[in-house]
Chain A
Amino acid sequence: MEKRQLRIALAGNPNSGKTTIFNNLTGTRQKVGNWPGVTVEKKEGDILKFGYDMKIIDLPGTYSLTPFSIEEIVARDFILDENPDVVIDIIDASNLERNLYLANQLRELDCKVIFALNMADVAKSRGFKIDAKKLSELLGVPVVFTVGNKNEGLDDLLKTAIELAESPLEIPEERRVRYSNDIESAISELKDFIELRVDSSFSYNSRWTAVKLLENDQIIKDRIIEKVRAESENILRKAEKLRGKLSKRLDDDPEIVMTDDRYGFIAGTIKEVLSTSTRQRVDISRNIDLVLTNRFLGFPIFIFFIWAMFQTTFTLGAYPMEWIDAGVGYVSAFFAYVLPDSLLKDLIVDGIIAGVGSIIIFLPNILLLFFCIALFEDTGYMARAAFLMDKIMHLIGLHGKSFIPMLMGFGCSVPAIIATRSLESRKDRILTILITPFMSCSARLPVYIVLAGTFFAAHAGTVIFMIYLFGILVAIVTGRLFRTALLKGEDAPFVMELPPYRVPMMKNLLIHMWDRSKMFLKKMGGIILVGSIVIWVLSNFPQNIQYSRDYDSQIAQLHQAYEQKVSSGESIDELRLLQTKEDFVERLSIAKEAERAEKSFIGRIGKAIEPVFLPIGIDWRGSVALLTGFVAKEIVVSTMGVLYAAEGDAESDALRNALLKSGMTPLSALSMMIFVLLYVPCLATIGAITRETGSVKWTLFNIAFTTTVAWGMSFVVYQGGRLIGF
């Protein structure tokens, strides 16, 4: 027999335990994606139980269904347009009053709703007693008690959901929220007006539509224009007229009065169903906050946590990184051994494995970082971090929560950009994403070490530190600029709940961490793969390069001469002879490699774009190094090694000597460091930006903007420096 399919949506306030219930219901069988068109995470999971095939959809956590934030719009649109069979509202039973606000908005939507009074145990321990039967009667909604983290009541919840889904939808009159008389009469007037002017194709409940129009709900207005067409103008005009009348009468915006009315209605409900024992309860969260957001201790503790997070991510992460590095090495050696010498082998070993390997190596960092962030979020500390940092971040026009992603940018921009998901406002997210790459990531450090170490020897540390500071400064200035020019408009209200501290559940942490990391692997993988292949092709073609000298035969001659000398027994110091020969061979190979790089496509591109870089003091070799740095910033050093014909290693003196001899000056080195600090982030970051902004336009803007800023700053430094005589 075909199993009946049900679609069940989970709604609820943030911190109501919705995610825990979702995770416990669906286990690991969840699909994480995005809601169409927006970057709000969408989670779904299928369960087979009680003879039904149930698809559970986790709606974004919201405090209301006022369509102000993307989350609220997404949640409401889903219920309105996708008509789930049942909507389960997860209610934090220990915080009934506030949670009932969303619950009542759901009731007004006329969908099949169940209330899950979650964290029933916490409510009980706080001395709350809720009369579920009364609540159910008063509001005409089935009510189930659950304890999400102990898996209690979940079967009950599903059974109730099935029962409700199978029963016909009936909306008893008392399910309505009653507004004050003036508003009620306006509602019924508008409702009748609408009913006369729409046909059956208009699926929204007419009373609800009237309520929304009186609240001046822009989205519903748009829907009416779209669906009713001819009569829409009349309806909207009528609504506007009624709104005007109400505003005058009530001496306030109707939507404000209606919100008040809803709370009034809730207060009435609460009086009947909730009894609180007089026992003085201890607010544990308040006590924890006495320390964690303390005037003197708050910041030191915050800095310690951040330090610990970085320590965990980069120190602990270094071990698995080594393993992965070794693993990639083995794989590469294996293919090098198995495959016959060919272009394909080069592509696989030097292009694909090396390219993808250079990204996959960040996986341990990313897993650990996301684990820490999940820990911050699930315990409730993230909100406190925002509380502490908001004043500072607000100076740049950002929300306190932007601090964590920006700070992570010092490690790696990719997880930093993904971490902006914790920001609610889209504008804040885009702004944070755009300026995070200016936080100098760890991959740029080797470049600074080589350049500053070579040209500023004794002051290298100070110079590098200044470079970092400069990056922060640019981030602040551009942040302000973007806020006033590009992403203007009101700051999102900061008004934020500081949720009670909770002991996090390992299962939730792991699921959280894995979801986000999986996204990194999947999406980045494709881009990196393509990018690596492109760069490999550019630097390995054309194949038939006309060398100015015949390196191979010269090398062969050296070998021959050596063999002859050894066999003739001419020389006494065989070891020294071998060393001299090896030196010569190496010098020749490096010279050959340098010439090959110069004559490859990428070398030619470098030469072609040299005019662009000359004004900032960078020659064609530097240009090529910067070009390859587009794949990953670490590559800049190894490319310089190849082009300046020395061993490409940050520690190596050979590269330093070669750089010193190449005509580079401290000034041009400084200019190059600034360019590296500011120009296009790496391919993986570009991928993350595209994905997280959901827009190619913003990505292209970011590429163009960062490169322009980089060039401009380097130009000012280089030419300015020359003017004042450096």
Chain B
Amino acid sequence: MRLDEMKEGQHGRILRIGGETRLRRRILEMGLTKGSEIYIEKYAPLKDPLELSVRGCHVSLRVKEAAEIDVEALK
């Protein structure tokens, strides 16, 4: 499933990160790497962007960017 399909409060693990190189590296550099566990904190009041936590820090990305990330839901 895609990251932007996950719901608030869901845990997940990153399987693959797509998109153009620049975006992918940004995402990776913020600690969102293959295999890392994430937790969807919330969606912004206007449903975009979303906030998640990974490796103990909170990161926000646009829904369009999240759509480039494949995840599996945990629990």
Interface residues of A (CB under 8 A from B): 63-64, 66, 68, 94-95, 97-98, 101, 253, 255-256, 259-260, 263, 285-286, 289, 293-296, 298-299, 383, 387-388, 390-392, 394, 400, 490, 493-500
Contacts and interface: CB of A to CB of B under 8 A. Distances in A.
B51 A391 contact: no
B73 to A, nearest CB: 21
B25 A497 contact: no
- Secondary structure class of chain B's binding surface, majority of residues: mixed
A89 to B, nearest CB: 15
B42 to A, nearest CB: 7
A495 B57 CA distance: 13
Given A94-B56, A293-B42, A497-B59, A64 B47 contact: no
Contact of A390 (B22, B23, B29, B44): B44
Given A494-B62, A494-B65, A98 B55 contact: yes
Contact of B45 (A263, A293, A495): A293
Contact of A497 (B22, B33, B58, B65): B58
B62 A390 contact: yes
Interface string B36-64: 00000110111111010101111111100
A289 to B, nearest CB: 7
A498 B30 CA distance: 11
A253 B22 CA distance: 11
Given A63-B29, A260-B28, 11 more contacts: A68-B25, A98-B55, A253-B24, A256-B17, A259-B33, A289-B41, A293-B44, A388-B44, A394-B62, A490-B23, A494-B65
Counting chain B CB atoms within 10 Å of each CB, the highest count among A253, A255, A263, A285 belongs to A263
A286 B27 CA distance: 21
Closest 5 CB pairs of A and B: A391-B46, A498-B58, A259-B28, A493-B26, A64-B29
Contacts of B51: 289, 293, 387, 498
A493 B27 contact: yes
Interface string B6-25: 00000000000100111111
Given A63-B30, A97-B31, A390-B62, A255 B49 contact: no
B23 A495 contact: yes
B47 to A, nearest CB: 7
A622 to B, nearest CB: 43
18 contacts: A64-B29, A68-B25, A97-B31, A98-B30, A289-B41, A295-B42, A298-B44, A298-B45, A383-B60, A391-B46, A394-B62, A494-B49, A494-B61, A495-B27, A496-B59, A497-B60, A498-B58, A499-B57
Contacts of B60: 383, 387, 494-498
A364 to B, nearest CB: 34
B44 A263 contact: no
B57 to A, nearest CB: 5
B57 A255 contact: no
A293 B65 CA distance: 20
A221 to B, nearest CB: 15
A494 B56 CA distance: 19
A255 B17 CA distance: 13
A90 to B, nearest CB: 16
Nearest to B31: A98
Contact of B25 (A94, A256, A392): A256
A101 B47 contact: no
A490 B25 contact: no
Contact of B22 (A63, A68, A97, A391): A68
A383 B57 CA distance: 13
Contacts of A498: 51, 58-60
Contacts of A256: 17, 21, 24-25, 28
Contacts of B57: 95, 98, 497, 499
B28 A391 contact: no
Contacts of B46: 388, 391-392
Contacts of A496: 59-61
Given A98-B30, A263-B33, A391-B44, A490 B20 contact: yes
Contacts of A98: 30-31, 55-57
Interface-central residue, A68, A94, A383, A499, by most chain B CB under 10 Å? A68
Nearest to A276: B56
B33 A390 contact: no
B12 to A, nearest CB: 17
Contacts of B22: 68, 490, 493
A24 B49 CA distance: 36
Nearest to B42: A293
Contacts of B21: 253, 255-256
Contacts of B53: 286
A101 B59 CA distance: 16
A66 B25 contact: yes
A64 B45 CA distance: 30
A276 to B, nearest CB: 10
Contacts of A286: 41, 53, 58
A379 B26 CA distance: 24
Contact of B29 (A101, A296, A391, A400): A101
A252 to B, nearest CB: 10
B44 A97 contact: no
Nearest to A380: B58
A259 B33 CA distance: 9
A341 to B, nearest CB: 64
A286 B56 CA distance: 11
B23 A493 contact: yes
A669 to B, nearest CB: 39
